[in-house]
Copies of this chain bind each other. A is one copy, B any other.
Amino acid sequence: MEKALDRNSYIPLYAQIQQKLRQMIERGEIAPGAPVPSERELAERYGVSRMTARQALRALRHDGLVYRERGIGTFVARRKVDVHTRNLVGFTEDMRQRGLKPSSKLILLKREKATQQIANELGIEVGEGVFHLERLRLANGTPMAYESNYIPADLCPDLDQYDLERDSLYRILEEEHGIRMQSADEVLEAARAPRREARYLSIRAGSPVLVVHRVVYGDNGRAIESVRTIYRADRYRATFHLTKNTL
């Protein structure tokens, strides 16, 4: 039954329960609309307090996998649209979740001084060092997006030492520099493709594109990067799951 939790693990108990339930749901062992074990049942089954079981269910609800009805129970959500949940991942992971093979072509990697606008977005002073990174992003070998990043240079002074065609920026920041993303603000708009980016994307200048501007914050509240991504409108749609903030 593999019901036991590892109480010595560095993974919190609620996260272990969450993980088990997530697997059961994603494998289809619990059908959409069918009930998930109640808080009290989970608590008894795994030998934890009800508050701990509750935390697992709350996280699943936040991800949109279940919905909860007072007085009735917790049920597997019946999703109607394709959802890749878009949980604060980079291009590399985003493409993988969509079943596509990501790759990159490095266009530019240069240390610059922050302009007024970039400084503002990153919460640093004008003139401070930033890395400016531009990459063409491909999915299964064809152009998907054109991405322009600005990263405060002091966060990662050796960024130009890495192979940013093959490596993931987020992986470098997280695994090599211990910088973890915690949240992000995103602004999405439709626009006409500028000539230069259109050429890289193999589309006609003026074609509609989806422009995503994202500022990512680390767990110390500092802005980690400001990135503008221009997606081909015919190849990319952004998906989100929204919840009422009664957490």
Which A residues are closer than 8 A to B by beta carbons?
A: 33, 51, 55, 58-59, 62-64, 67-69, 75, 77-83, 86-88, 120-123, 180-192, 208-211, 213, 215, 217, 219-221, 223, 226, 231, 233, 236-245, 247
Selected from B64, B77, B185, B237, the residue in CB contact (under 8 A) with A187 is: B237
Chain B residues near A181 (CB-CB < 8 A): 244
Q: 27 pairs across A/B with beta carbons < 8 Å? A: A59-B247, A62-B245, A62-B247, A64-B183, A68-B219, A78-B123, A78-B223, A81-B121, A81-B185, A81-B187, A83-B185, A88-B244, A180-B244, A182-B243, A184-B242, A185-B241, A186-B239, A186-B242, A187-B239, A187-B240, A188-B188, A188-B238, A189-B210, A189-B236, A189-B237, A208-B208, A247-B247
Complex Cα distance A184/B80, Å?
10
Number of copies: 2
Known A-B contacts: A87-B242, A187-B239. Give 19 more (CB < 8 A): A67-B183, A67-B219, A77-B221, A80-B123, A80-B185, A81-B121, A81-B185, A81-B213, A86-B242, A87-B244, A87-B245, A183-B241, A186-B242, A188-B237, A188-B239, A190-B210, A190-B211, A190-B231, A190-B233
Contact A243 B123 (CB under 8 A): no
Contact A240 B81 (CB under 8 A): no
Selected from B81, B123, B213, B244, the residue in CB contact (under 8 A) with A183 is: B244
Contact B215 A80 (CB under 8 A): yes
Most chain B C-beta atoms within 10 Å of own C-beta, residue among A63, A120, A239: A239
For residue A56, give the distance in angstroms from its CB to the closest CB of chain B. Answer: 11
For residue A90, give the distance in angstroms from its CB to the closest CB of chain B. Answer: 12
Chain B residues near A210 (CB-CB < 8 A): 188-190, 210
Complex Cα distance A80/B183, Å?
12
